[in-house]
């Protein structure tokens, strides 16, 4: 079993990305929208990996 923090952070980031893609694909990403906020958060998370 892999239990390093980095592994779980990557797993959760991937799960969040998949969920965001599934939920927000039909909606436009407009400034100030929840989708844009989540997109920026995911980009920050990806840079930290």
Res 2: pLDDT: 59
Q: pLDDT digits over 6-48, tens only?
A: 776 777 777 777 777 766 555 555 666 777 787 888 888 888 7
Res 43: pLDDT: 86
Res 32: pLDDT: 67
Cα end-to-end span (Å), the chain: 20
Res 46: pLDDT: 84
Contact 4, 43 (CB under 8 A): no
Cβ count near 18 (within 10 Å): 10
Residues contacting residue 20 through CB under 8 Å, at least 6 positions apart = 35, 38, 39, 42
């Amino acid at each position: 079993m892999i239990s390093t923090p980095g592994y779980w952070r990557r797993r959760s980031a991937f799960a969040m990305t998949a969920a965001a893609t599934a939920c927000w694909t039909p909606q436009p990403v407009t400034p100030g929208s929840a989708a844009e906020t989540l997109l920026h958060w995911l980009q920050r998370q990806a840079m930290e990996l």
